[in-house]
Amino acid sequence: MKKILFILLLSSALWHIHAQEFNCNVSINASGVRGSNKQVFKTLERAIQDFVNHNRWTDKQFQSYEKIKCDILLNIKDYDIKNNHIKAEFYFRSYRPVYNSDYETLLLNLVDKNFEFDYREFEKLDFNIEMFESNLTSTIAFYLYIALGYDADSFKENAGKEYFEKAEQVQINAEQNTSDSGWKRENKNNSKGDFVEQLLNENSTFYHKAVYTYHRWGLDVMADKLPLGKNNITTAINYLSKFKQANKNSDYLIKVFFDAKADEIAQIYTAGPPVNTSFVLNKLRNLASNYDFKWDEIKPSMGKHTVTPRFNRPPGAPAGNDYENKSGRAFEQKEKR
């Protein structure tokens, strides 16, 4: 009987390990808060980290080396100790490994400037996708599902939809149960409601193609075929241009893309074999003029490896999606490194 019980407990523990999709680092900066119990923020920091890393967010099996790396930073602006109410800035970043390399690319770089929630020290952080528990756990869960969606999109075209739909479910529950305007749709400040609505909009096809092409046939190809990978990056940027042309409300999703990618894109086009940077510069300045200081680093030129933008499969892409395992991510090479 003891042996059977041990096996059951071991199986449960192994299942729990496989169920963890994130390897998240959480930090809280409360230096601006005076005259209050700072220990509560250390407790909250550990609670959020456990909440993210130890909960099951999908029905997929993730090996330890497959976990999505992410960072959460809370910059505390105000703490009402009497009412256990906290006002903060919420920063979220997630990363994706690049095939056949040790490089990790920044996938998301999101900021929520007006994040408010209630938290009592040692309070258990609960989440149920079917209902609204708290603004704290719903906000974190929302961004985790967004991260899962972007990650899946980057490995297989339109594979992130199921996770964006979960983010939408979190958003709807929150909008119905809190007065926080950050959850609402039709918010001119690009709320979480606007964000997920745009991701699921049927007119966002070119956006998802851009995310997929940029990572799967751009970055993942560059280790072995640098000119081809750079040309496919240009194809991805052209997809973004097509997306903008077809959507009046495309600015926020494009901002999300370039907030994560501007530095990387500038580095890609200022090094390595030449490509048609004159073509891509025009696209970049039109798409993200707020990053003109980055695009100024790219020298306009007509390289011998010019690109003809395509809107079917990128150059070098096989007919099928042969780059995923049970979790929907591919790390066969990473495991061997």
Helix 251-270 crosses helix 205-212 at what angle (to 10 degrees)? 30
Q: Work out the pLDDT band at 18, boundaries 50, 70, 90.
A: very low
pLDDT of residue 302: 54
State yes or no: pLDDT of 307 exceeds 50.
no
Its pTM stands at 0.87
pLDDT of residue 263: 97
Q: How many CB atoms neighbour CB 11 within 10 A?
A: 10
Question: Would you list the DSSP string of 193-224?
Answer: HHHHHHHH-GGGHHHHHHHHIIIIIIIHHHTT
Residue ranges per domain, the chain? 15-200, 206-324
Average pLDDT over residues 93-118: 95
Q: Which of 32-41, 198-207, 321-330 has the highest mean predicted lDDT (pLDDT)? A: 198-207
* Rounded distance between C-alpha atoms, residue 246 and residue 250, angstroms: 8
Q: Tens of pLDDT along 184-208?
A: 887 666 789 999 999 999 999 999 9
| Residues 275/269, Cβ–Cβ less than 8 Å | yes
* Rounded distance between C-alpha atoms, residue 63 and residue 334, angstroms: 12
Average pLDDT over residues 209-232: 95
